[in-house]
Amino acid sequence: MNVPFLDLKAQYVSIKQEIDAAVGSVLSSCQFVLGAHVKEFEENFARYCGVKHCIAVDTGTSALHLALLAAGIGPGDEVITAANTFIATCEAISYCGAIPVLVDMDEKTYNINPKLVKAAITPKTKAIIPVHLYGRPAPMAEINAIAKDAGLVVIEDACQAHGATYKDRPAGSWGQSGCFSFYPGKNLGAYGEGGAVVTNDDAAAEFMRLLRDHGSKQKYHHDAIGYNYRMEGLQGAILNVKLKHLPEWNRLRRAHADRYRQKLAGANLMLPPPDDDSQSVYHIFAVQVDDRSRFQDDLKEEGIGTLIHYPIPVHRQKAYAHLTWPSYPVTERQAGRIVSLPMFAELTDEQIDHVAAAARRSVDL
């Protein structure tokens, strides 16, 4: 049996008629950049996240960049984030001339460790970016309390957490801004690049809208040096269709995670943390094993795709070799042990059982 890591085709086939109609409607309207479809998506996604504003952009990285600029982050400022994130979180900080200050992860949750956040605050710290890694919200109540005490802005990197909740409130609605990526493989994925910032802050929303479109509110009138971070009309229309299906897709992902848990109970590997205040939407189902390369080879032989999120932590990347880093023991240890199993809404029970059986055979040898 073949179980790919991700099957985007299966999802397209299941909603083909709706998608094809939406694409056709953009083509006949010729609103290829921003326009009515993007506006409609902004309204729908803001509602979905329980906030006032959504600013649709071209990527999650641009979303983070705009959110940081709207928070007034600039050269020399320090921004605290998770050591085990995707590099884009740090790149956005660097684009502002600010310095990423990494904090080790909590061993059990894969999220930033709030105790270490507190210890990393200096007079230069201006913001914290908790990352809802793998679709599981970081402990936002604790992080917001720390930020409030220290007078810091919180920007959520919710790029992997569309529809996840913390204490029943949507990811993205806890900070000053929440940033999302609609990269095709995400729980809510475009058919190309896409991103968005959501916020309840009217002034920040207006500033981000201005900056995403060359600093312009009115064509050829430029109030600021901005960027071309606009979302394409096709992506807006496609995301509008897919957003309607997202609650069901997330429900299925959560059910698949439960089935993996049942089938892997007692096996010699570490499972992702169960829900507590944080309710995951399982963008990634990452387990930890002792001998990862053998594990991946064993699964590959049984037709199963796996990936690693992420094999080299940001502070070990060449791109960040110019900064001096302490060690991050938990992040470094888990970077050599984590492996992500197939996870997408269209997975069948038989496929999950096949993956779990192969995983068990590999680790329980």
Ligand X SMILES: Cc1ncc(COP(=O)(O)O)c(C=O)c1O
Our finding on whether 229 is near ligand X (CB under 6 A) is: no
Our finding on whether 86 is near ligand X (CB under 6 A) is: yes
Our finding on whether 331 is near ligand X (CB under 6 A) is: no
Our finding on whether 89 is near ligand X (CB under 6 A) is: yes
**Per-residue contact string for residues 144-183; x = within reach of ligand X by CB under 6 A:** -------------x-xx--------------------x-x
Q: Is 85 or 351 the residue whose CB approaches ligand X more closely?
A: 85
Instruction: Among 34, 131, 341, 343, indicate the residue that binds ligand X (CB under 6 A).
Output: 131
Q: Is 226 or 359 the residue whose CB approaches ligand X more closely?
A: 226
Torsion angle defined by CA atoms of residues 79, 138, 204 and 122, in that order, rounded to the nearest 10 degrees: -20
Our finding on whether 60 is near ligand X (CB under 6 A) is: yes
Q: How far is the CB of 155 from ligand X (least distance, A)?
A: 11
Q: Are 289 and 299 in contact (CB under 8 A)?
A: no
Q: Is 58 or 298 the residue whose CB approaches ligand X more closely?
A: 58
Q: How far is the CB of 64 from ligand X (least distance, A)?
A: 6
Our finding on whether 59 is near ligand X (CB under 6 A) is: yes
Number of residues this chain uses to bind ligand X (CB under 6 A) = 14
Q: Which residue is nearest to ligand X (CB)?
A: 60
Residues that bind ligand X (CB under 6 A): 59-61, 85-86, 88-89, 131, 157, 159-160, 181, 183, 195
